[in-house]
Amino acid sequence: MTLEQAILPTAAAFIGGAINSVAGGGSFLTFPALIFAGVPPIPANATNNAAMWVGTIGGARGYWSDVREHKRLLFSVASVSSVGALLGAILLLRTPAVTFAHLIPWLLLFATTVFALSPLLTRHAPDGIPSHSPWQIVLQFCVSVYGGYFGAGMGILMLAILTFTGLPSFNATNGMKNVLSVVINGMALIPFLLARIIDWRFALPMAVIALLGGYFGAKFFRRVPPLLARSIVITIGIAMTIAFFVRH
């Protein structure tokens, strides 16, 4: 492993952890960084999941004060998220490596498009006591399957769903998303550990750096205009999507 191969994923982990803490989309950086460092696609996805799971813990901790008053809402969505994440991770392990390599640019395109169009999905928030509708539970399960399988853009999909919960602020909604990301990435980690496909040479340093990025990103990006944060993520997503279409 060259110095460049070691530095690129680690640097991406800090920025990705920071981005995940506020908007989601950090995997647009960290997953491609692992591919460019020479990690095969499926192990790269599992390694990215392991590293960014630690980063999401930092992001969840940074927003916990906004989530604490709404803990009662977590149980139902956390339960379905756990099952969905396990199914998604198992599905990934059963996907041929060549097939997954060809799916990567399309998955990135899907995630980038959803992220870019998310204001159209999240502009109507209900009034009243915060609660989850049955259709939100179903959609959260679907998103958690996607999160266990790939995960890039998962955060913005959850933000779109959680907006209809009626939480009182963006920080509370984003904090809930961060907690659910901890659940999804953590449960997906179990099949990856059992399959022994995580590249710990990258996962361990990336995990430490992503944790710092997630915590400090939560503190910093709470003061950054959301439009600016979104623009950064969309730009990264477009660049990575183009790069992988050209690569394949």
Question: Which ranges of the chain does DSSP label H, i.e. alpha helix?
Answer: 3-22, 27-36, 41-62, 64-67, 74-93, 97-122, 134-149, 154-163, 170-195, 200-221, 226-247
Measured CA to CA, the distance from residue 92 to residue 77 in angstroms comes to: 22
Instruction: Write out the two tokens for 87.
Output: 């199914």
At residue 12, does pLDDT exceed 80?
A: yes
Residue 166 C-beta-side C-alpha neighbours within 13 Å: 9
pLDDT at 47 over 90: yes
Residue pLDDT, tens place only, 112-131: 787 777 667 655 555 556 76
Asked if pLDDT for residue 45 goes beyond 80, the answer is yes
Print the domain residue range for 145.
3-247
pLDDT digits (tens, 9 = 90+) for 148-179: 999 877 877 887 788 777 777 777 887 888 88
Residue 41 has pLDDT above 80, yes or no: yes
At 33 the pLDDT is 92
- pLDDT category at 222 given cuts 50, 70, 90 is low
pLDDT of the residue at 131 = 65
Q: Is 23 helix (H, G, I), strand (E, B) or coil?
A: coil
b/e map 50-73, b = 16+ CB within 10 Å: bbbbbbbbbbbbbbeebbeebeeb
First to last CA, the chain: 23
Number of structural domains the chain divides into: 1
The half-sphere exposure of 90 on its side-chain side, counting CA atoms within 13 A, is: 7
